[in-house]
Amino acid sequence: MKHYSKKKIIEAIRGTGGIISSIASRLDCSWNCAKKYINQWPETKQAYEEEKEAILDLCESVLYSSIKNGDTQSAKWVLATKGKERGFIERREVTGENGAPLVVKVELVGDEDTEGV
């Protein structure tokens, strides 16, 4: 098995978006080997977490740019996910026939030990 330094692991992490297979490819090792080295030291774990956060920041930036450019679908999605406190949420109302209260019958099937429960 190959041995890698913290510095080498951190260098391999940068710019991958936190995709372990990309890190493994840069190290020329297996996915499991890369994952093991990422988790081996606090510094490599931190570099990996920072890389994952950076890609999320990039995704948010692209999303917000599209909203600024008038993309209503993106705006609706943000409101439905981040705007819940302001009332922007889709809810499904489940009722019985013609709006009557929903009645659910539960039947236990299985062991005789559950009889009378």
In a domain, 100, yes or no: yes
What is the residue range of 97's domain?
6-114
| Burial (0-12, 13-18, 19+ Cβ within 10 Å), 7 | exposed
In a domain, 29, yes or no: yes
Q: What is the pLDDT of residues 38-80, one digit of tens each?
A: 999 999 999 999 999 999 999 999 999 999 999 999 999 999 8
In a domain, 88, yes or no: yes
In a domain, 1, yes or no: no
Q: Quick check: 38 and 9 in contact, CB under 8 A?
A: yes
Q: What's the pLDDT score for residue 93?
A: 74
Instruction: Kindly report the average pLDDT of the chain as a whole number.
Output: 90
In a domain, 104, yes or no: yes
Mean pLDDT of the 10-37 span: 97
What's the pTM value of the predicted model, to 2 decimals?
0.68
Mean pLDDT of the 16-32 span: 97
In a domain, 73, yes or no: yes
Domain count, the chain: 1
